[in-house]
A and B are shown apart, each in its own frame.
Chain A
């Protein structure tokens, strides 16, 4: 017989549970595809992030002939078609399109991951506090979460951008992170309500563990699994929101490169140079699909019984 506190969802994160989950994830085609896409995009984003002085990415320093801001002044009539020098041609400013496409991954992943990290942190803390203490703390925090869930994230982001009258990448992180935690908090709270009544929690309390220790060492680690799955979907949502805001001109500003901005720039020449619009769209779609597949695989492998309510905002 399995002891009660070794059963259920939470145990999968402990001991051999993690490796078992990763093996299970890799066995599922969707999960494997998700991992491959996300890893590729993450590596690409890391390579595409500029550093040093002059500020250039590793991608530009080692592999590409053209940086994303470099202009080929020999081109008379941009946007040019693909050729030996520019495999995907140039944009209207005579910049190598392949280089810009690859570097677009950096902003998308940065915004997606950083904002979701913030949302995950806030969501876990809020959910744990609400589920652990219950009472008025629970009511207050969950009503706040209800309000955020009732409002579409892109609209909230637009409102925040209008209020702060700036369009920096930091603001995007902050806005998406501060407003995207509600779903995670709800999931975490539900888990905490169960875990707080488990035997090991009771035992820890009986041994004199403080509230903070109980939350940090027993409740949160066991409640985190569904939140991680939700966070993977959240990353996809953030990437889409960033692209959507950039498409509307409200996202990051040039010279930062965003796929959403590239789509809108290519839109006007869609019939003449369709790849200028379609390829950033495809890259965006692939990245989002990667995170959604990863979330799907994680959900199935970590907690096959869970029926998670997720959303892409």
Chain B
């Protein structure tokens, strides 16, 4: 090699180092007041009335405020945009007094008319709102949301600082519905825009305002300086949401400082994370259930309660919770989870393969003879697949053959809707409470015509009980009615409850004041979390 070649090589190497090294260097760490939040994927919508998924709700709860809000970490309600309220003795009329000086992110002051507009919008047909069932107890809501009436007598504003909500029947959890996304107050001038620019650049009156969104990469919110609450010293000024789909990648990003917060620990790594990051791991429970549902249209299940009971006792639920879910969740003893009216503390259905085999024989299928192969329908994630294999194996022990039908989420939902009367199918299902009330939980899933009743379970006695529960003003009476409903469902083996979800999040210890919401990670009030410099 001549000296000239060596010289040229040196220049090339020097150039590579000069250009490449700064390019490969990690980005400078964000300012202490910035939280980098791992989001799984882009929000399907930023419209509070269309949203129904965790990916959307996390932004919606930060951008928007309602008349009331949840006390952090609980399902209790406290004033927000309304500074106070009163309830009439008959439990039908709520009168809210608006807080003065509350502003939207566009600078305009929030008025009582905005509240009326927002509640009407949540019920207006043609706006793609999914909140009609949430606010169905408002007087006139059924006709208004069905397009049969233009008047909504349940919402009125007698003066610029007062809002009156009138209900068809007393509903004890009405305020908790207003504390959720259905109660978001939005500016009419933004949401009436026919170009629907609010879907890309939402405007609300919440503690954080929309800053930017690069699809599939990131979305940024920054603190709204004119919010009606005062930001705590050291509060989070900016939240940068990074879209990282894979939970394993997200965990690695967390460990290497790429994100400050992640809410999903990959299957099989919880114990290790708890050991290695004890100060970062925050755990709580969520008002939710994971269960195996039956296609009750099929006479195989409808006419054979003993078969349903046999399948229930054949599943080793404790193994699923302790091993597959690494203790994150709680074995379910019924449908209604702890923290809701109607929850029945007590033991879960026993795992007893011998009893299951006896019940199967009594049902007319000794050792599975004469029983068609069942189909277990689930979407295909590592965790759900492991549970599916577990159930397949457990049922095989008593002679029940099961084919697994695993697909992506959209195909899974399509499969549930395509069940027919001869489909010998069971399905895994998850339900998260939309608001903290058993009505949002049991009625929706097992009431005749319920929005989450994919198995088409129907019982006139249960329906009557649920209707009573919904209209009962006394919390103690409601508790008793829903306990009875829960017992009824379990005695009929209408479902196989597996567990009530827990929730795990990882947050860098420099952030303090985190409070997990029982409704889900999206409910964390980040405006109250502080960051050490």
Contacts and interface: CB of A to CB of B under 8 A. Distances in A.
A267 B248 contact: yes
A264 B389 contact: no
B252 to A, nearest CB: 9
Contact of B392 (A167, A254, A267): A254
B420 interface: no
A69 B396 CA distance: 11
Interface in B383-439: 385-386, 388-390, 392-393, 396, 403-407, 411
B392 to A, nearest CB: 6
Per DSSP, chain A at the interface is loop
Given A249-B406, A253-B404, A269 B392 contact: no
Contacts, number: 53
Contacts of A270: 248
Size bracket, chain A contacts: 20 to 34
Given A71-B393, A93-B386, A269 B406 contact: no
A93 B269 CA distance: 15
Interface string B360-382: 00000000000000000000101
A304 interface: no
A27 to B, nearest CB: 41
A272 B269 contact: yes
B266 interface: yes
Which residue, B385, B389, B403, has most C-beta atoms of chain A within 10 A? B389
Interface string A82-119: 00000000001100000000000000000000000000
B272 A268 contact: no
| Interface of chain B, main secondary structure | helix
A93 B406 contact: no
B380 A249 contact: yes
Interface string A248-275: 0100011100000000110111111000
B404 to A, nearest CB: 5
B382 A268 contact: yes
A255 B376 CA distance: 13
B323 interface: yes
Contact of A254 (B266, B268, B323, B404): B404
A161 B190 CA distance: 45
Contacts of B406: 167, 249, 253
Interface in A116-174: 165, 167
Interface string A228-260: 000000000000000000000100011100000
Interface of A: 69, 71, 77-79, 92-93, 165, 167, 249, 253-255, 264-265, 267-272
Among all A-B residue pairs, the 8 with the closest Cβ atoms: A269-B268, A249-B380, A268-B268, A268-B267, A268-B266, A254-B389, A253-B404, A268-B382
Interface of B: 248, 266-269, 272, 323-324, 380, 382, 385-386, 388-390, 392-393, 396, 403-407, 411
Given A78-B323, A93-B393, 8 more contacts: A92-B268, A249-B380, A255-B393, A267-B248, A268-B266, A268-B382, A269-B269, A272-B272
